[in-house]
């Protein structure tokens, strides 16, 4: 069986370092491993509209921004198809058929949907489009026969619903759809990177992000004003590294090479943590180290982005070709689905 990847982003804003460690970094590694037969990266503009329907211009602008972010971190159009969801009509036909296979109660129990409804203040009146997006996402995944979905931890309940749809569909209509697996980042700190404000998740919607495209000064300012351990008031106080975003970011980004280069007084990140826990180590010193690590990681991404920004024609061509390939693939799946559902009426 072919190994196929489907993953993507909502074009609701530029991508941030949470996306980088939660999804993009893995995406590039898998792309370059040569182990996958096909890779589809979706700019989920229709999903983005479900909670931004009153701001279509925001979604439109960010399709380009998110495409640039992907190309800047190393997505190679020779290996990965970058596609725009709304331009692949087969996805929405699949979505319609899958809606019959999921109950309202099942979506209501989905913890990610629950917390997103709360975050958006939708409790009183959740739009049906937003509520049903997990089903739409199942169409996105299965349309490409994806075996592997590399995403952050918040997506686990979505993949679970998708797997249930595949199971039900295949039971009712005969083996048609491929069962996908989630692939989470190996690095634990990367599963769900917290915000610079200490909130549980860095998220475009919460405004607590360090963006991949932020300039060096902005990164400096954001790191220096990051939330740390609120009880670590004096340098001599013992500190907590567990729920401290500065240390969580270090866990997600810092390598032993970084420690050797920038932290001459410490053998390892663990030694730095032990000192902070004991007391006697100030936040500023730790933040300065984190800033160096982040600047070093972001600098090549920024440079590539600046070059790509000057060539809008290239980005458009990448999206056009990726979308074309996606349309071919999704149409084949849709044909299989309709055949097995006895919904094909005319021979061609």
Among 4, 22, 113, 258, binds ligand ATP (CB under 6 A): 22
Cβ 212 to ligand ATP, closest distance in Å? 12
Task: Considering only the stretches 5-13, 139-147, 278-286, 316-324, report the one whose residues sit in contact with ligand ATP under the rule CB under 6 A.
Answer: 5-13
Half-sphere exposure of residue 130, counting CA atoms within 13 Å on the CB side? Answer: 21
Applying CB under 6 A, the span of 67-75, 81-89, 122-130, 200-208 interacting with ligand ATP comes to 200-208
* Residue 287 within binding range of ligand ATP, rule CB under 6 A: no
Q: Looking at beta carbons only, is 185 or 239 nearer to ligand ATP?
A: 185
Does 214 bind ligand ATP (CB under 6 A)? Our answer is no
d(CA 240, CA 311): 46
Q: For tokens 């006895």, name the residue.
A: 342
Applying CB under 6 A, the site for ligand ATP has a residue count of 18
Q: Which two tokens stand for residue 6?
A: 């489907």
Pick the closer one to ligand ATP by CB: 13 or 239: 13
User: Which of 122/262 has CB closer to ligand ATP?
Assistant: 122
Q: Does 14 bind ligand ATP (CB under 6 A)?
A: no
Using the rule CB under 6 A, which residue among 43, 71, 126, 202 binds ligand ATP?
202
The CB-of-271 to ligand ATP minimum distance in angstroms stands at: 26
Candidates 23, 50, 62, 86: give the one binding ligand ATP (CB under 6 A).
23
Among 5, 6, 12, 63, binds ligand ATP (CB under 6 A): 12
The answer to whether residues 110 and 158 touch, using CB atoms and an 8 Å cutoff, is yes
Interaction residues for ligand ATP, span 146-185 (CB under 6 A): 151-152, 154-155
- Based on the shown chain and the rule CB under 6 A, indicate whether residue 27 belongs to the binding site for ligand ATP: no
Under the binding rule (CB under 6 A), the answer on residue 222 touching ligand ATP is no
Per CB under 6 A, the list member of 25, 201, 287, 329 interacting with ligand ATP is 201
Q: How far is the CB of 20 from ligand ATP (least distance, A)?
A: 8
Residue (23 or 323) nearer to ligand ATP, CB: 23
Measure the CA–CA gap between 296 and 271, rounded to whole angstroms. 22
Tell me which residues in 180-199 interact with ligand ATP (CB under 6 A): 192-193
Q: Which is nearer to ligand ATP, 177 or 210 (CB)?
A: 210
Determine, following the binding rule CB under 6 A, whether residue 245 of this chain makes contact with ligand ATP.
no
Identify the burial level of 111 via C-beta atoms within 10 angstroms of its C-beta, where 0-12 means exposed, 13-18 middle and 19 or more buried.
Answer: exposed
Q: How far is the CB of 69 from ligand ATP (least distance, A)?
A: 11
Contacts with ligand ATP, residue ranges (CB under 6 A): 9-10, 12, 18-19, 22-23, 151-152, 154-155, 192-193, 201-205
């Amino acid at each position: 069986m072919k190994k196929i990847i489907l993953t993507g982003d909502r074009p609701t804003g530029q991508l941030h370092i949470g996306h980088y460690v939660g999804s993009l970094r893995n995406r590039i590694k898998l792309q370059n491993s040569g182990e996958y037969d096909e890779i589809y990266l979706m700019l989920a503009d229709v999903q983005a509209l479900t909670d931004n329907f009153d701001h279509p211009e925001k979604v439109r602008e960010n399709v380009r921004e998110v495409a640039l972010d992907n190309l800047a971190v190393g997505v190679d159009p020779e290996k990965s198809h970058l596609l725009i969801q709304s331009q692949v009509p087969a996805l929405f036909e699949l979505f319609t058929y899958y809606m019959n296979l999921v109950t309202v109660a099942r979506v209501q129990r989905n913890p990610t949907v629950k917390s997103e409804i709360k975050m958006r203040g939708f409790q009183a009146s959740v739009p049906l489009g937003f509520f049903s997006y997990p089903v739409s996402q199942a169409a996105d995944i299965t349309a490409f026969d994806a075996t592997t979905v590399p995403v952050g931890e918040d997506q686990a309940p979505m993949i679970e619903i998708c797997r249930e749809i595949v199971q039900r569909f295949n039971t009712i209509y005969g083996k048609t759809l491929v069962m996908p697996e989630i692939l989470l980042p190996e690095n634990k700190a990367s599963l769900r990177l917290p915000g610079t404000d200490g909130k549980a998740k860095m998220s475009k919607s919460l405004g607590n992000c360090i963006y991949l495209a932020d300039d060096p000064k902005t990164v400096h300012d954001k790191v220096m004003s990051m939330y740390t351990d609120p009880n670590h008031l004096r340098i001599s106080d013992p500190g907590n590294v567990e729920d401290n975003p500065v240390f969580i970011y270090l866990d997600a980004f810092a390598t032993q090479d970084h420690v050797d280069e920038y932290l001459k007084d410490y053998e390892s990140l663990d030694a730095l943590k032990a000192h902070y826990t004991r007391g006697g180590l100030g936040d500023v010193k730790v933040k300065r180290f984190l800033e160096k690590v982040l600047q070093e990681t972001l600098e090549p991404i920024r440079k590539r982005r600046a070059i790509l920004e000057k060539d809008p024609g290239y980005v458009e061509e990448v999206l056009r070709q990726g979308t074309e390939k996606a349309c071919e693939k999704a149409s084949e799946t849709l044909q299989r689905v309709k055949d097995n559902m006895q919904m094909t009426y005319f021979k061609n």
